[in-house]
Structure 1
Amino acid sequence: MKIDVAKGFRQGILMLIPLIIGYLTNHFSTGLLIATGTLAHIYVFGGPAQSKLRVVFFSTVGLSIAMMLGSLTVNQPILFGILLLVITIIPHYIFSSLNIVGPSSIFFIVAFSLPTNLPFAPEDALYRGMAMFAGGLLATLMVIIVILFSKESAEMKAVKSDYNIIKQLIYNFDDPKAFAKASQFAVSAFRNSDNQLITSSTFKSKASPEFQRLLLLHNTAQGIHSELLELNEKQIRPLPKEIKQMADFVIKMVFSEGNIKTQWTQKVEIDSQYQNLVDNIFKVDAIINADNERVEHEVNVRMPVYGHRMLSNLTLDSFVFRNILKYAIIMGISIFIALMFDFDKAYWIPLSTHTVLVGATTLHSFERAGARCIGTIIGVLVLSLILLTTPPILVAIILLAASAAITEMFVGANYSFAVIFITIQVILLNGLASNHLSIVIALPRITDVIVGIVIAVVCLLFIGRKTASSMLPGSLADVARNEAVLFHYLFSSNKYSSIKQDKRELLNLSVKLNNMIQIYNNANGELFSNKSEIQYYYPSIYALEELSFMFNRALNNEQRYHINDEKMGQYLLVFENIAKHFERGTNIQIQNLPELPQYINIRTSLTNIQSNCMNAR
C-alpha cells in the first residue's frame, strides 16, 4: 500500500475540529469523546460507496457501544475483563470473515478502555456513547463528501481494471508462458472486481442503466478471458492483428467512460475459430453505444449475503473460526495477566498483544512484534521529551491530531514507522482524558507493551503452530467436492436451476475458496511448516480457482450445453478421486474425460489437477 496523505489529512482534521471546539467552549471532555468517535473513519479503505458507508456506520455503532460498556463496568475488574475480551473478538471476527482490511479491534479496545482515564460515572455512559456516535457521524459526513467529490466510482475503477487485464491477456496471448502468468493473475483480479460490483450501491442504484452497463462490461470482460482460455487450450495462436486492433479500440472506449461514441466500422475477416472471441469484443462496442433503454436489465444481481458468510465461517472447518479461537485464547490470557497483576494501565497489555496477533501469518506476527516493540520505545521516548517541557493543552491537542494524521498516512505503507505515532496518539488521548500530561503517563507504557508482546509471541509458539498446514489438504478436498456439486448443477441434463439456488451455490463455493486461499497463505507463513510440501499444493489451488471462474461464466450462460448421465458420472468420479487424494493421500490414476462443449478449459483444469496429484511426492 502507498502512503495515503489525503486520508491522513482528513483524519487529522476530524480529530482537531471537535478538540478545538471543546477546548474553546470549556467542554473539552465532550470534544475529546467526539474526536475519539471520528476514529470510525480509520476503518474506511477502498471499495464502493455503499460499502464505505456501511463500514463507517457500523464502526461508529461499535465504538459507541464499547464506550458505554466500558463506562458501566470500569470499576468491576472481572466483568470489565470479560467484556473487553468480547469487544476484541466480535469486531476481529467480522473483519476477518468479510475480508475487511484495517486495524481490526485496536480502536474498539481504545474506546472501551478510555473510561479508565475518566472519572467513574456510570450515569454518564449514555452521554459518552452519544458523544462517540456524534464523532462517528462527523466521520460519516467526511466519507460522504469524499464520495461526492471522487472523480470516478469504485465500480468504474473495477471495470477499467478488468479491461487493463484484457489488454495484457491479448498482448501476451502469443507467448504461452506469458499468457499463463497473466491469466493466473486475471482469475483473482476478476473475482475482486466481482466483489466490488456485487457489494456496491443500493438495490435501487443496481437497477439503474449506468450500473447495468458496468455490470455487462464486467461480464463481457470475463467472457473475453474465457474465450482466450478456450483458444489457448486448443493451442490456436497467434492472434490476428485485427483482433488486437479491435481490443485496443473498445478498451479506449471503456476508459473514455462513454465520451467516445464512434463505432468500429472496419471489415473484419478472420478464421471462424476466432469468431466467439470477436463476438465478445464487438459486444463491448454495442454495450457502450446502446441507449439506456436498450441496456439489458439484469434484475437478478447477486446480492452479497453478509450474515450467511459470517455464519458459514462458524465451523471448525473454517480457518477464520479456528484463528478466532486461537485469538480468543491468547487475548484471554493477556487480559487475565493484565488484570491479575494489577498493571496501572492494564489495557495496554491486551492492546499490544492484539497488534501482534493481527499479523497475516505467524512470521508476519513476529515481524509486527519487533516493529511494535521498537516503535513503542521510540514513540515513548519522543513523547517523554515533549512532556518534559510541560506543553499547554492546545499544543497537546495539535500534537494528538498530527500523530493521528501521520498514523493514517503511514499505517498501510510502513507499519514500523506508524507505530511510533500510534503510541504517541494513544498516550496523548489517555493523558488528555485523565487531565494528566506528564512523563509519568508515558514511560511505564514500555513495560506494558513488552509484556503484551511477550505473551503474544510465547502463545503463538505453542498454540496452533501448524494449524494451517494441517488444514490445507482438507480444504482442497472441500473445494473439489463443492465444485463437483456445482458442476452437476450446471451441466446435468436434469436441470433444476433457480435464481435462489444460483446464489446459494455461488456463495457456498466462494466461502470454501476464500477459506482454502487463506489457509494456503497462512500455511506458507507458519514457523514450523514444511514449505516445499505446502508449495506442492499451489498448482492445484490455482486450477480449482480457474474452475470456479469457468463455473461462474457458465452460470451466466443460459444457452450452455448439458451432458448425459454417463459423461456426468465420469466427471464426478474425477472430482471425488481428487478430493480423496487430498483428504487421505490416496493414489490417483489419470482418467481421460470426454470433451465438454463450450468449456474445454474445465476438462483441461481437471486433467492438470490429476497430473499434479500424480507427481505429488
Structure 2
Amino acid sequence: MQRRVRSAVTDFQQILKQAFAINNVPLPWSKAIGAGFCSAFPILVGLWLGYIQYGFIMSLGGLAFLYMFNEPYVLRAKKIFCVVLGLAFSAGLGTVLSANPILSAVTVGIIGASAVFFFGAYQFAGPSALFFILVFLINANTDTDPSLAILHAALVFVGGILSFFFAMAGWVIAPLRVETAAVKEEYRNLALLMDSLDSSSFLEIRQKSWFSVITAENILVAGYAPWLETPPYWRLALLHKQAKLIYSEIVEYSNENKQRLPFKAIESMQLIESAIEDGPNESVPAIALQYEKKSTGLERHIRQAYDHAAGNKAAADRPFLKIPKTSFKTLFSGTFNKNSMIFFTALRFGIVLTAAALAANFFNDLTSYWIPLTCAAVMSGATILSTFNRAIQRTCGTILGIVIAVLILSLEPEGLLIVLAVFLLMVLAELAMVLNYAVAAVFVTPIALILAESTSAIGTISYFTSARLTDVLIGSAIGLFGTLLVGRRHASSLLPRLMAKTIRSQQRFTSALFSVHKKNSLAENTIEQRKMQTNLTNLRLVFSTAQGELSSNRQALESLQPVFFGLEQLSFLLAKAAKDKDRLPLADAQLAQLLLVFEMMANAAEKTWHFSELDVPHIPKYRDIEREIRDLQYAFKTSQLSAIN
C-alpha cells in the first residue's frame, strides 16, 4: 500500500513538473505573425465595410492557418483546404442548430469524433477537432436567425481561403523545402551511423538513423502529386532510394565487422549532404570512392547517391521509380475496427464531448459552450498523462487569461483597437504554444472572449467573465473523468494482441515471398504487404499511447523497445526482398520451420507464454533477414511482456 501511495505521489509530481515545464525550442515567428494576420485582417475588412460583426465571423476561418505545420506543400494544400471546408460546414451547421440545444450537443460530438478519426487515420499534425468544435459552438450559441447559415458558412470560407493562400505563400520561393531538409537529415544521420560502428552508441544511433529514413519516406510520399512531377522532386526521391540501400549496407557491414568504415566513406556522405541543398553543380568535388565492378555494394550506392546529388546523371538514365500511396479503402479498413486505437480514441472523444455539451444545457447561460470546448481541449492530449497536463494547464492559463480579458474588455475597445488586440494576442498565443500550453491559454482565452463578446448576447462583461472559471473547471473535470472512465488502460490491453497480429501478418508475407508455390510471383505491394504495414502503423500508435498511461508498467514497456524496433526492421527487410525478382524459394520443410518461429513469437506476445528460441533456417541471399529474426527472438526472450497486463 505504501509503495502504491509513493508511486501515486511521484506520478503527480511528474505531472505537475511536465505541466509547467518550458520547452527550450525556437520561436515560430513567421507562423505566429501569419496567424495574427489571418485572424485580424478579416475583422479589419469588416470594419472597413461597416459590418464588423461579419468580420468577426470571417475571422473564424482564419483559424485554418493554425493547422499549418512543417509539411510538404502538396499535403499542406490538401489539408488546409479540407480544414477550410470543415470550418465553413461547422459554422453553417451550428447556425442551423442554434435553436435546438439537444441536437446541437449530439452534433458537436459527431463533429469532434469525425475530426479526431480522420486526423488520426492520416496522422496529421495540428489541433485536430478543437477549432471545428469552437466554430460550431460559437455559431450554435448566437442569437441569430438559422436562415443565415449559408451566409455564416460563406464568411468563414472566405476567411479560410485567405489563410490558405497565406499558408501556401512559401511554395513560390522553395516548393521542396521540407522534402530537401528531410533527405538531407537522413544522409547526415547515415554519416553518423558510419562513424559509430565501433562505439557503444551504435544501436541508439541506428534507431535514430532508421527514424530519419522513415520520416523522409513519409514526407516524400505526402509531397507527391502526379501533376507536379519535376526533376528536383525525382532527384530527392532517387536520393532517398539510395539512402535506404546505404542503410541496409551499413547494417550488413556492422554484422560482419565492428570497425569503423574508411574515413573517405564518411567524408563522401558529408559531401552528398552538402550537395543535396546546393542542388546539381558541376563544381562539386568528386567522390574519392572507387566505382568499379569489384567495389562493394556500399561504395556503389554512395557513388550513385553522389551522382544524383551533384546532377551527374542524365534524365534519360533515371529509372522508373514508384511512389507508394495508401488508398482510402486500405487506410479506412485498417483504422475503422475494434482493434484500432484511432477508432477507439475518436469514439471516446465523441461520447464524452456530447456528455459535456448536454451538461452545459443545464446551465441557463448562453455562453456555457465553454464547458464542451474546455472538455475538447483537455481530451486533445495524446495520452492520459498529457490529458492531465492539459487539464492543469487549461485551468491555470484560463484564470490568468480571464484577468487579461477583463482588462481589455473593460476599456470597451472599438475599431482598430480590437483589430490590434486580436493580432497581438494571436501572435503571442502562437509563440507561447511551443513553450507551454498553459502560457498559450493565457492569450487564447482573451481572443475567445472577444469573439464571443462580438457574436453572442452575453449581457454584462462581469457576468460573462465570472462564469468562465466555473465552465473551465466543469469542462476539465468531465474531460478527465471521461478519459479515465473509458479505457484508461486500453492501449496496454491492446498491445499484446496487436503485436501478435503484426507478427502473423509478417508470417503471411514471408510465406508469400519464399513459398515454392509462388515462385517468381509478384510480391511487392501485395495484400499481405499492405496488411503488414497497416498493422505495424497501428502497433506504433498503440505502443506510444501505452507509454503515456498512468498505470502502465514503464519498465516492462521499456523492455519492449528492442522488440518493436526489430519488428520495424524485419518489415523493412521483407519489403526490400519483395523487390528482388531473383529471390530463391525455400523448401517446404525450411519454410514450415520459419513459419513456426513466427507463430511461437506471436503466441508468446498474445498469450504471454514462456518463450524459447528456435533454430532459424537458412534463407539464401537473405542473411540479414535470418539475423533479424534471431535478434527478434532474443528481444522477445529478454522482454517483460507478461508484466504489461
Residue 131 (structure 2) pairs with residue 110 (structure 1): no
Match for residue 166 of structure 1?
Answer: 190
Alpha-carbon spacing, 1:306–1:189, altered in 2? closer, same or farther (3 Å): farther
Alpha-carbon spacing, 1:110–1:584, altered in 2? closer, same or farther (3 Å): same
For 1:257 and 1:225, the matched residues in 2 are separated by 23
For 2:285 and 2:531, the matched residues in 1 are separated by 41
Superposed counterparts of 1:134-533, under 5 Å? 134-150=158-174, 152-175=176-199, 177-206=200-229, 208-235=230-257, 237-262=259-284, 264=286, 266=288, 268=290, 275-288=296-309, 289-298=312-321, 300-434=322-456, 438-493=461-516, 494-495=518-519, 497-498=521-522, 502=525, 504-533=527-556
Q: Summarize deviations over 1:75-134 as a string: whole Å, max 9, x none.
A: 111111111111111111111111112111111111112224533211111111111111
**Structure 1 position 182, deviation (Å):** 0.9
Identity of aligned residues (%): 25
**Structure 1 position 266, deviation (Å):** 4.2
Residue 148 (structure 2) pairs with residue 124 (structure 1): yes
For 1:290 and 1:539, the matched residues in 2 are separated by 39
Alpha-carbon spacing, 1:285–1:394, altered in 2? closer, same or farther (3 Å): closer
What amino acid is aligned across from residue 418 of structure 1 in structure 2?
A: A
Select 2:607's aligned residue among 584, 601, 609: 584
For 1:245 and 1:393, the matched residues in 2 are separated by 60
Q: Summarize deviations over 1:310-359 as a string: whole Å, max 9, x none.
A: 33211111111122222222222212211234443122111111111111
Superposed counterparts of 1:20-35, under 5 Å? 20-35=44-59
**Structure 1 position 144, deviation (Å):** 2.2
For 2:452 and 2:521, the matched residues in 1 are separated by 58
What amino acid is aligned across from residue 441 of structure 1 in structure 2?
A: F
Q: Summarize deviations over 1:354-402 as a string: whole Å, max 9, x none.
A: 1111112101110111000000000001111222222224322221222
For 2:37 and 2:610, the matched residues in 1 are separated by 63
| Native 8 Å contact 2:289 2:303 kept in 1 | no
What amino acid is aligned across from residue 245 of structure 1 in structure 2?
A: E
For 2:388 and 2:476, the matched residues in 1 are separated by 9
Match for residue 37 of structure 2?
Answer: 13
Match for residue 574 of structure 1?
Answer: 597
**Structure 1 position 496, deviation (Å):** 6.1
TM normalised by structure 1 equals: 0.94
Match for residue 603 of structure 1?
Answer: 626
Alpha-carbon spacing, 1:242–1:145, altered in 2? closer, same or farther (3 Å): closer
Alpha-carbon spacing, 1:255–1:391, altered in 2? closer, same or farther (3 Å): closer
Q: Report the more deviating stretch, 75-84 or 399-408.
A: 399-408
| Native 8 Å contact 1:41 1:139 kept in 2 | yes
**Structure 1 position 488, deviation (Å):** 2.4
Alpha-carbon spacing, 1:394–1:535, altered in 2? closer, same or farther (3 Å): same
**Structure 1 position 569, deviation (Å):** 2.1
| Native 8 Å contact 1:388 1:439 kept in 2 | no
| Native 8 Å contact 1:263 1:285 kept in 2 | no
| Native 8 Å contact 1:242 1:268 kept in 2 | no
- How many positions carry a matched residue from both structures? 612
Q: Summarize deviations over 1:28-53 as a string: whole Å, max 9, x none.
A: 12222221112111112121111000
Gaps of 5+ in 1: none
| Native 8 Å contact 2:566 2:632 kept in 1 | yes
Alpha-carbon spacing, 1:468–1:178, altered in 2? closer, same or farther (3 Å): same
For 2:500 and 2:365, the matched residues in 1 are separated by 48
For 2:293 and 2:318, the matched residues in 1 are separated by 30
**Structure 1 position 453, deviation (Å):** 0.4
Alpha-carbon spacing, 1:559–1:282, altered in 2? closer, same or farther (3 Å): farther
Match for residue 564 of structure 1?
Answer: 587
What amino acid is aligned across from residue 196 of structure 1 in structure 2?
A: I
Q: Report the more deviating stretch, 279-288 or 431-440.
A: 431-440
**Structure 1 position 498, deviation (Å):** 4.1
For 1:325 and 1:165, the matched residues in 2 are separated by 39
Alpha-carbon spacing, 1:283–1:596, altered in 2? closer, same or farther (3 Å): farther
Alpha-carbon spacing, 1:328–1:178, altered in 2? closer, same or farther (3 Å): same
| Native 8 Å contact 1:98 1:306 kept in 2 | no
**Structure 1 position 506, deviation (Å):** 4.2
**Structure 1 position 74, deviation (Å):** 0.6
Alpha-carbon spacing, 1:266–1:313, altered in 2? closer, same or farther (3 Å): closer
User: What's the RMSD between the two structures over aligned residues?
Assistant: 2.3
For 1:276 and 1:434, the matched residues in 2 are separated by 68
Alpha-carbon spacing, 1:542–1:569, altered in 2? closer, same or farther (3 Å): same
Displacement over 6 Å in runs of 4+: 269-272
For 1:387 and 1:36, the matched residues in 2 are separated by 19
What amino acid is aligned across from residue 309 of structure 1 in structure 2?
A: L
Give the 3-state SS of the residue equivalent to 1:160 in structure 2: helix
For 1:2 and 1:308, the matched residues in 2 are separated by 38
**Structure 1 position 556, deviation (Å):** 3.9
TM normalised by structure 2 equals: 0.90
**Structure 1 position 425, deviation (Å):** 1.2
| Native 8 Å contact 2:360 2:368 kept in 1 | yes
For 1:141 and 1:483, the matched residues in 2 are separated by 44
Residue 90 (structure 2) pairs with residue 66 (structure 1): yes
Q: Summarize deviations over 1:541-581 as a string: whole Å, max 9, x none.
A: 11101112222333344444443333322221111110111
What amino acid is aligned across from residue 508 of structure 1 in structure 2?
A: K
Select 1:91's aligned residue among 115, 127, 130: 115
**Structure 1 position 8, deviation (Å):** 0.8
| Native 8 Å contact 1:74 1:116 kept in 2 | yes
What amino acid is aligned across from residue 322 of structure 1 in structure 2?
A: F
**Structure 1 position 137, deviation (Å):** 1.1
For 1:590 and 1:174, the matched residues in 2 are separated by 28
What amino acid is aligned across from residue 465 of structure 2 in structure 1?
A: A
